[in-house]
A and B are shown apart, each in its own frame.
Chain A
Amino acid sequence: MPVEIIETNKEPLKPVQVDPVTLDIIENALRNARFEMDAVLFRTAMSPGIREQHDEFPLIANRDGKMVVGQFGSFIHGFSAGHEGTVEEGDIFLTSDPYSCAGAISHANDWLVLMPIFRDGRLLAWTAMFGHMTDIGGKVPGSLPTDARQIYEEGIVIPPVKICKKGEMQDDLLKVIFHNCRLPHWNRSDLNAIVAAIRTAERRVVEIAERFTDDVFHQAMEELLDRNFRAMKQLIANTIPEKRQVFEDYICDDGMGMGPYKIKCAMWREGEKVIFDFEGTDPQSTGSINFYLNEEMFKMFCGVVMIMVFDPQILFNDGFYPLMEVRIPEGSILKPRHPAALSCRTHALGRIFDVISGLLGQGSPDFLCAAGFSDSPHFMYSGYDSKGEWYQLYQIGFGGIPGRPIGDGPDGHSLWPSFTNVPNEFLESYFPLRIEKYETVTDSGGAGLHRGGNAVRMVYRFLEDGEISIHDDRWFTYPWGVNGGDPGERSKKILKREDGTEEILPSKCDRVVVKKDDMLAFETWGGGGWGNPLNRGAEIVAADVDKGLVSIEGARRYGVVINSNGRLDEPATDRLRAEMKAGYDSDEIFNFGGTLEELRSRCLEETGLKPPTPPVFTATRRS
Chain B
Amino acid sequence: MAHRLGVDVGGTFTDVLLVDDETGQRVTSKVPSTPADSSVGVLNGITRACEKAGIKPGQISQVMHGTTVATNAMLTSGGARVGLVTTEGYGQVLQIARSFVPGGLGGWVIYVPSAPLAPLELTTEIFERIGADGSVVRPLDEDQAREALLKLKDAGIEALTVSLINSFENPIHEKRVREIAEDVLDGIPVSISFDVIPEMMEYERTVTTVANSYVRPAVESYVKNLEAELTDRLDGVTLRILRSDGGLASAGAAQVLPVNHLMSGPAGGVSGAIWVARQAGFENLLTFDMGGTSTDVALVRDGRAALRRETTVGDVTVRASSVDVRTVGAGGGSIAHVPELTGALRVGPESAGADPGPAAYGRGGESPTVTDANVVLGYFPESQRLGGDMPLDRSKSQEVVQQIADARGLSLERAAAGIVDIVNENMCGALRLVSVEQGYDPRDFALIAFGGAGPLHANALAKLIHAWPVIIPPGPGVLCAYGDATTRLRNEASRSFVRRFSNTSSDELRALLEELAGQARASLEKEGEEVEAVHYEADLRYQGQGLQLSVPVDLKLLSSDGLNHPGEAFDRMHTKLFTFALDSEKEFVNLRAAAESPGSELTAASAPKGKGADSACVGKQVVFVEGESVTAKVFARELLGSGDTIQGPAIVTEMDSTTLILPSHEAEVDDLGNILIRPQEA
User: Which residues A418-471 have CB closer than 8 A to chain B?
Assistant: 418-421, 423-426, 428-429, 434-440, 456, 459
Chain A residues in 8 Å Cβ range of B99: 398, 412-414, 419-421
Chain A nearest CB from B489 CB (Å) reads: 33
B578 and A44 contacting across the interface, CB-CB below 8 Å: yes
Q: Is B194 an interface residue (CB 8 A)?
A: no
Contact of A234 among B129, B204, B341, B422 (CB under 8 A): B341
Chain B nearest CB from A550 CB (Å) reads: 11
Measured CA separation A227–B425 after assembly (Å): 20
Binds B, one of A173-181, A307-315, A328-336: A307-315
B105 and A304 contacting across the interface, CB-CB below 8 Å: yes
Mark B60-85 against chain A: 1 for CB-CB distance below 8 A, else 0. 00000000000000000000000000
Do A439 and B90 form a contact, CB below 8 Å, given A304-B105, A313-B342, A547-B121? yes
User: Which residues B552-608 have CB closer than 8 A to chain A?
Assistant: 574, 577-580, 582, 584
Q: Is B203 an interface residue (CB 8 A)?
A: yes
> In chain B, what residue has the closest Cβ to A402?
B108
B345 and A21 contacting across the interface, CB-CB below 8 Å: yes
Chain A residues in 8 Å Cβ range of B342: 227-228, 230-231, 313-315
Chain B residues in 8 Å Cβ range of A404: 108-110
| Chain B, interface SS category | loop
Chain B residues in 8 Å Cβ range of A417: 101, 103-107
User: Which residues A16-54 have CB closer than 8 A to chain B?
Assistant: 20-21, 23-25, 27-29, 32, 36, 39-40, 42-48, 51-52
Chain A residues in 8 Å Cβ range of B417: 21
B578 and A440 contacting across the interface, CB-CB below 8 Å: no
Chain B nearest CB from A383 CB (Å) reads: 18
Q: Is A256 an interface residue (CB 8 A)?
A: no
Contact of A425 among B103, B107, B201, B580 (CB under 8 A): B201
Q: Is A270 an interface residue (CB 8 A)?
A: no
A43 and B345 contacting across the interface, CB-CB below 8 Å: no
A459 and B89 contacting across the interface, CB-CB below 8 Å: yes
B429 and A32 contacting across the interface, CB-CB below 8 Å: yes
- What would be 23 A-B contacts, judged by CB atoms less than 8 Å apart? A20-B410, A24-B425, A28-B429, A42-B546, A51-B546, A227-B344, A230-B342, A234-B341, A301-B105, A305-B106, A305-B109, A308-B106, A313-B339, A420-B100, A424-B202, A425-B165, A428-B166, A434-B131, A434-B132, A437-B90, A439-B90, A546-B120, A548-B92
B341 and A231 contacting across the interface, CB-CB below 8 Å: yes
Do A39 and B92 form a contact, CB below 8 Å, given A407-B112, A415-B101, A425-B202? no
Q: Is B146 an interface residue (CB 8 A)?
A: no
Chain B residues in 8 Å Cβ range of A48: 546
Contact of A28 among B113, B200, B426 (CB under 8 A): B426
> In chain B, what residue has the closest Cβ to A431?
B132
A20 and B105 contacting across the interface, CB-CB below 8 Å: no
Measured CA separation A377–B579 after assembly (Å): 34
A434 and B137 contacting across the interface, CB-CB below 8 Å: yes
Query: Chain B: how many interface residues by the 8 Å CB criterion?
Result: 70
Q: Is A158 an interface residue (CB 8 A)?
A: no
Q: Is A372 an interface residue (CB 8 A)?
A: yes
Do A413 and B131 form a contact, CB below 8 Å, given A46-B542, A424-B165, A546-B121? no
Do A44 and B545 form a contact, CB below 8 Å, given A24-B344, A227-B343? yes
Q: Is A104 an interface residue (CB 8 A)?
A: no
Chain A residues in 8 Å Cβ range of B426: 28
Chain B residues in 8 Å Cβ range of A25: 421-422, 425
Q: Is B98 an interface residue (CB 8 A)?
A: yes
Q: Is A369 an interface residue (CB 8 A)?
A: yes
Chain A nearest CB from B545 CB (Å) reads: 5
Binds B, one of A184-192, A570-578, A593-601: A184-192
Chain B residues in 8 Å Cβ range of A413: 96, 99-101, 108, 113
Q: Is A401 an interface residue (CB 8 A)?
A: yes
B425 and A29 contacting across the interface, CB-CB below 8 Å: yes
Max chain A C-beta neighbours (<10 A), residue from B89, B103, B410: B89
Mark A66-103 against chain B: 1 for CB-CB distance below 8 A, else 0. 00000110000000000000000000000000000000
> In chain B, what residue has the closest Cβ to A407?
B112
B105 and A71 contacting across the interface, CB-CB below 8 Å: yes
**Besides A21-B421, A188-B582, 6 other A-B contacts (C-beta < 8 A):** A20-B408, A71-B105, A227-B342, A308-B106, A312-B109, A425-B166
Chain A residues in 8 Å Cβ range of B132: 425, 428-429, 434
A372 and B104 contacting across the interface, CB-CB below 8 Å: no
Chain B residues in 8 Å Cβ range of A32: 429, 432
B96 and A438 contacting across the interface, CB-CB below 8 Å: yes
Q: Is B444 an interface residue (CB 8 A)?
A: no
Q: Is B437 an interface residue (CB 8 A)?
A: yes
User: Which residues B510-549 have CB closer than 8 A to chain A?
Assistant: 542, 544-547
Do A401 and B108 form a contact, CB below 8 Å, given A32-B432, A52-B546? yes
Chain A nearest CB from B168 CB (Å) reads: 8
> In chain B, what residue has the closest Cβ to A408?
B112
> In chain A, what residue has the closest Cβ to B338?
A20
Chain B nearest CB from A614 CB (Å) reads: 33
A423 and B89 contacting across the interface, CB-CB below 8 Å: no
Q: Is B119 an interface residue (CB 8 A)?
A: yes
A418 and B110 contacting across the interface, CB-CB below 8 Å: no
A72 and B105 contacting across the interface, CB-CB below 8 Å: yes
Q: Is A494 an interface residue (CB 8 A)?
A: no
Chain B residues in 8 Å Cβ range of A497: none
Mark A126-162 against chain B: 1 for CB-CB distance below 8 A, else 0. 0000000000000000000000000000000000000
> In chain B, what residue has the closest Cβ to A373?
B108
Measured CA separation A543–B577 after assembly (Å): 47
Q: Is B93 an interface residue (CB 8 A)?
A: yes
User: Which residues B329-348 have CB closer than 8 A to chain A?
Assistant: 339, 341-346
Measured CA separation A21–B129 after assembly (Å): 59
Mark B173-211 against chain A: 1 for CB-CB distance below 8 A, else 0. 000000000000000000000000000111110000000
Q: Is B53 an interface residue (CB 8 A)?
A: no
Measured CA separation A414–B343 after assembly (Å): 32
Chain A residues in 8 Å Cβ range of B92: 411-412, 438-440, 548
Chain B nearest CB from A69 CB (Å) reads: 10
Chain B residues in 8 Å Cβ range of A315: 342, 344
Q: Is A549 an interface residue (CB 8 A)?
A: yes
A311 and B341 contacting across the interface, CB-CB below 8 Å: yes
Chain A nearest CB from B586 CB (Å) reads: 12
Chain A residues in 8 Å Cβ range of B545: 43-46, 51, 189
Chain B nearest CB from A491 CB (Å) reads: 16
Q: Is A165 an interface residue (CB 8 A)?
A: no
Chain A residues in 8 Å Cβ range of B546: 42-43, 45-46, 48, 51-52
Measured CA separation A410–B103 after assembly (Å): 14
B544 and A186 contacting across the interface, CB-CB below 8 Å: yes
Chain B residues in 8 Å Cβ range of A40: 578
Chain B nearest CB from A295 CB (Å) reads: 17
A189 and B425 contacting across the interface, CB-CB below 8 Å: no
Chain B residues in 8 Å Cβ range of A411: 92, 95-96
B341 and A189 contacting across the interface, CB-CB below 8 Å: no
Chain B residues in 8 Å Cβ range of A428: 131-132, 166
Chain B nearest CB from A124 CB (Å) reads: 20
Measured CA separation A406–B203 after assembly (Å): 27
Q: Is A196 an interface residue (CB 8 A)?
A: yes
Mark B109-140 against chain A: 1 for CB-CB distance below 8 A, else 0. 11111000001110000000101100001000
> In chain A, what residue has the closest Cβ to B91?
A439
Measured CA separation A415–B105 after assembly (Å): 8
Q: Is B418 an interface residue (CB 8 A)?
A: yes
B582 and A426 contacting across the interface, CB-CB below 8 Å: no
Chain B nearest CB from A587 CB (Å) reads: 25
Chain B nearest CB from A365 CB (Å) reads: 15
B578 and A547 contacting across the interface, CB-CB below 8 Å: no
Max chain B C-beta neighbours (<10 A), residue from A305, A415, A419: A415
Mark B272-294 against chain A: 1 for CB-CB distance below 8 A, else 0. 00000000000000000000000
